[in-house]
Amino acid sequence: MSEVKKVVLAYSGGLDTSIILKWLEDTYNCEVVTFTADLGQGEELEPARAKAEQMGVKEIYIEDLREEFVRDYVFPMFRANTIYEGEYLLGTSIARPLIAKRLVEIANETGADAISHGATGKGNDQVRFELGAYALKPGVKVIAPWREWDLLSREKLMAYAKEHNIPVDFAKQGTKSPYSMDANLLHISYEGGLLEDPWAEPEEPMWRWSVSPEAAPDEPTYIELTYEKGDIVAIDGERLKPHEVLEKLNKLGGANGIGRLDIVENRYVGMKSRGAYETPGGTIMLKAHRAIESITLDREVAHLKDELMPRYAKVLYNGYWWSPERKMLQAMIDESQEVVNGKVRLKLYKGNVIPVGRVSDNSLFDENIATFEDDAGAYDQKDAEGFIKLNALRLRIAAQKGRKLD
């Protein structure tokens, strides 16, 4: 007899997770609780409830987590100016810790002794879900069907659905995108299909959130972002909730051809993977945040943040949000943001995000010192001579001792 009596399944209502639901019931002879998260993916979630009910599920969780997602996960990540391998804005990575947390919380609420997800054995998401689950509930059992079953093709999945009377919208399946996609308020990702050839250019119809830069308006769009402690709190003077900020920036960025990305990244499991991403709002946020930090952060603090950022990005990409090192890094990052207040003015134009103004009561920019005009003695240029000679001392000694540097 199976030791698993009840499982909480991360459930989308699509083909894969509907099959997983039935497979869990049959394989483990257990009750399944479904959990569907609204992270701003732009899809109607009530059909997931109807399908779960149709399949006999008694406990169904459908939750709007958009506010928590942006406030507690996306915004903290952007305080660090986080990008993975120089380009990727971690749109998928940052959603997984919240889903893992709710899976564990629902397991505790319902008395479930296991959780389950639909991530494959080739990807990063299995790692992210499970590292989070084990960090928050060390004794939890995790069931990953893709690592257990033999339903390793679309044909086998469809045959299983037909055999077990699992409701599938075959008309919709026939028009299904050839790409594997994941969406939330921060981004939409595309993998598979044509993209498995890293030489092939993505097809224009693939993109869903943005116009091409060529098709963007010929006139630029100007926006003004207001920052408090490193987070955007208003757009053009209108105060908004965190998820509303990202929703609006996505629309503004997408309309101006901003946020498309095509990369080959190094997965944590060891393989290289080619993916395409649309992150219009996040692309704006990154550029604007660096602009407001440029006048508010001390030089060494800013440089230290830049040095720590790749480590922070790797921690998030690899699934260690719920780790002591992320907590430590976040504390340092958040401390630096106490002075990151003010406004940034941006020009959005044909795929470009161009800062054209920044102002802050915490600004360290001193016009009297930086001016190319007469500074009235605010800066004694003669001081630079001693500064240069002291910094050159080790170089001069090495040269005098015959050290070759060329």
Tokens of 91: 């749109």
Phi, psi of 235 (to 5 degrees): -120, 125
In this predicted structure, the answer to whether residue 76 has a pLDDT above a threshold of 70 is yes
Q: Which of 48-52, 134-138, 205-209 has the lowest mean pLDDT?
A: 48-52
Model confidence at 299, in pLDDT bands (50, 70, 90)?
Answer: very high
Supply the pLDDT for residue 1.
42
Instruction: Give per-residue pLDDT as tens, 1-59.
Output: 468 999 999 999 888 999 999 999 999 999 999 999 999 998 888 889 999 999 999 99
Handedness of CA 56, 118, 90, 284 (dihedral sign): negative
pLDDT attached to residue 255: 98
CATH code given to domain 183-297+340-359: 3.90.1260.10
pLDDT band (50, 70, 90) for residue 171: very low
Summary mean pLDDT of the chain: 94
Ordered by start, the domain boundaries in the chain are 6-65+93-176, 183-297+340-359
pLDDT at 368: 87
Q: Which percentage of the chain shows pLDDT scores above 70?
A: 98
Secondary-structure class of domain 6-65+93-176 per CATH: alpha beta
Asked if the model's pLDDT at residue 243 lies above 80, the reply is yes
Active-site residues, by number, are: 16, 96, 125, 180
- Give Cα 297 distance to the centre of its chain: 24
pLDDT, residue 169, reads 63
For 373-396, write each residue's pLDDT tens digit: 888 888 889 999 999 999 999 999
SS (H, E, C) 324-352: HHHHHHHHHHHHHHHHCCEEEEEEEECCE
Residue 202, pLDDT above cutoff 50? yes
Reported confidence tier of residue 172, pLDDT bands at 50, 70, 90: low
**260-266 and 272-278: which strand pairing?**
antiparallel
Helix (H) or strand (E) holding 183: strand 180-183
Which residues have a Cβ under 8 Å from the Cβ of 151 and sit 6 or more positions away? 19, 23, 145, 157, 160
Contact 79, 231 (CB under 8 A): yes
What's this model's pTM, rounded to 2 decimal places? 0.94
**Mean pLDDT of all residues in 76-102:** 98
- Assess contact for 286 and 81: CB atoms under 8 A: yes
